Amino acid sequence: MSAARSPAAENTRSSRTLAVAAVLLFAAVLGGLSWRLYQHRPTEAVSLERWALASYRDVIYFPLVALGDGVNPYDSVRDGNPERYMERYPVADHLPLYSPLVLALFSPFGALPAEASMVAFAALNCLLFVLLAWCTLRIIGRRPTVASVFALSAFLLASQPGRGAFNAGQISVPLALAMLGALQWGDRHAWRSGLMVALSTMKPTFGGPFGVMLAARRDWRSAIGGLAVGGVVFAAGLAAIVARTGELSVDSVIQVVSGNHAHLANDPEAVPRTNKARTDLAAIFEYLSAQSTPRWASMVLAAGVLGISCAALWKNRHSRGEDTAASPASAMIIVATFICIFHNVYDLPLLIVPLAASATAAGSGWRSLGAARRYGIAALLVVPFVNIFWTQGFRTLVGQLGVPWGEDAGPLFAAAYRLACSANGLALLGVWGLLVHSMLFRRSSIAVAANTTAAGGKATLNGDVPPSELFNDRQSLHATKIGGCPTTASPALIGAMHDRQAVGATHETIQ
């Protein structure tokens, strides 16, 4: 008779099985996406059917080639002149006002032939998805294993943001990692965090609002330093490009920038009436109302989101020093970045961090919100990952089944379609609202622990909110000691006391 396997051997075998299954799942997802890319790979002539890595083609590869030829890739003019960027190269669009830092970082790809360069970038993006999954698990306090890392990577790649970023060749994953590093390190490691903020300015719609809110979180040095470095690199790089490709003057720079911005304002790939992938509030209002949002209204919405977010972060000063990339404050910064200004679904892979943190109650900040609010936030954050109802692919599929779907499908189906297009932004707006409310009007367990005093053997909380409501805990309050005096505290407070992230007054009073 064979000896019975030990529990340790069984666990090892089970872990290996899960690891193999996760790797195979990731390989299957990657293989499917790669096959689609191959089927729609670009040719010398630009075609809507040849969309594979189109953003990489237009934003990185041919801009690098153009610079080598002495042509300005920021030039958006189409006037029949074969020497201009849009006429000379097989691109669908000009280079938007991304920082020249993008071209500097990815310059080695410009030395390769077009197809080899695209394969290399797709491989890099794939590795960065795995790195993002690994970082997410580390940040929420879970031990990364082969099974967990590749399972999460497969989910990311298969999701709407992941497929969009991978298929188009977007730089949203490098930007996500940069923001993640800045949020995690903050002013505790100011030079590292500042470098990450500077990298996030590669795409100003990421780095601009993100840096402002990071400063409101009181990570002054990293935020201001990173934005300053990013701004200098942008200005110096743009001046160098204009000088290389023409005559450098204030008028020439203004002409390039204003023309580029004007082109973007009417670009079918950008405006909400033709681009249904946007998540910012200006686009959401346009989707729901079927009316164009005035530019001034877009600016007011962006300023409002930024202003309220900064106020909430400033008021949340008791958490300074304990905020990591997994905290509710960081989640609010991430979500606010995506709703305050122009963003598309393919920009959203970073949402995996607040999704995982809220679902697993990673840290005392999330536990203090209560289970109902946490799970509500997690459910809303799932929406952009799984919502396919706004896509052209879904519209084509239901059309083949004879189901009308779209803005011209009749009042009922048109309204449902507009709601589907708005669902991603509305879900993020809901998350932002819940987090802002928690930061402005609710007090976390750590703040309560710091302000709890003993009075006649009972806890006195500075404020009018009952302890049971503050902690969202229906269990009976348990006895503990604060500063050597008996008092009462809920399990949520006890968890905060033993949380490694608890800082400040909590460390001073809890013995």
* Identity of the amino acid at 490: S
Closest CA to 444 of 495, 372, 376: 495
Q: Is the pLDDT at 435 greater than 60, yes or no?
A: yes
Q: Is the pLDDT at 132 greater than 90, yes or no?
A: yes
Question: If you average pLDDT over every residue of the chain, what do you get?
Answer: 84
What pLDDT sits at residue 76?
80
Q: Is the pLDDT at 124 greater than 60, yes or no?
A: yes
Split at pLDDT 50, 70, 90, the class of 250 is confident
Please identify, among 442, 459, 487, the residue that sits at the C-terminal boundary of a domain: 442
What pLDDT sits at residue 47?
64
Residues 408 and 396 in one domain: yes
Tell me whether residue 364 is in a domain. Answer: yes
Tell me whether residue 327 is in a domain. Answer: yes
Tell me whether residue 333 is in a domain. Answer: yes
Tell me whether residue 305 is in a domain. Answer: yes
Residue 331 CA to residue 499 CA, distance in Å, equals: 19
Mean pLDDT, residues 25-45 = 90
Residues 328 and 450 in one domain: no
Residues 414 and 292 in one domain: yes
Tell me whether residue 492 is in a domain. Answer: yes
Residues 432 and 353 in one domain: yes
Instruction: Count, in order, helices (H) and strands (E) of the chain.
Output: 25, 4
Please identify, among 393, 412, 442, the residue that sits at the C-terminal boundary of a domain: 442
CB under 8 Å to 270, separation ≥6 — which residues? 264, 342
Mean pLDDT, residues 416-427 = 96
Number of compact structural domains in the chain: 2
Residues 333 and 366 in one domain: yes
What pLDDT sits at residue 504?
38
Element (H, E) at 204: helix 204-216
In eight-state DSSP terms, residue 476 is P
What pLDDT sits at residue 45?
62
Tell me whether residue 368 is in a domain. Answer: yes
Residues 344 and 489 in one domain: no
Split at pLDDT 50, 70, 90, the class of 51 is confident
Residues 329 and 385 in one domain: yes
Residues 282 and 384 in one domain: yes
What pLDDT sits at residue 409?
82
Q: What is the DSSP string of 320-359?
A: TTT--TTSHHHHHHHHHHHHHS--BGGG-GGGHHHHHHHH
Residues 331 and 437 in one domain: yes
Residue 352 contacts residue 136 (beta carbons within 8 Å): yes
Span of 86-95, 175-184, 288-297, 314-323 with lowest mean pLDDT: 314-323
What pLDDT sits at residue 447?
45
Tell me whether residue 343 is in a domain. Answer: yes
Hey, is 503 helix, strand or coil?
coil
Residues 305 and 416 in one domain: yes
Residue 128 CA to residue 162 CA, distance in Å, equals: 11
Per DSSP, helices labelled H in 392-410 are: 392-400
Q: What is the CA radius of gyration of the chain?
A: 25
- Per-residue pLDDT of 304-324, as tens digits, reads 999 999 999 998 875 555 689
Tokens 């990071």 correspond to 214
Tell me whether residue 191 is in a domain. Answer: no
What pLDDT sits at residue 446?
39
pTM of the model: 0.84
Residue 471 lies in domain: 445-509
Please identify, among 399, 419, 442, the residue that sits at the C-terminal boundary of a domain: 442
Residues 391 and 422 in one domain: yes
Residue 73 contacts residue 95 (beta carbons within 8 Å): yes
Mean pLDDT, residues 279-305 = 93
Cβ-in-10-Å burial (0-12, 13-18, 19+) of 168 comes to: buried
Residues 397 and 478 in one domain: no
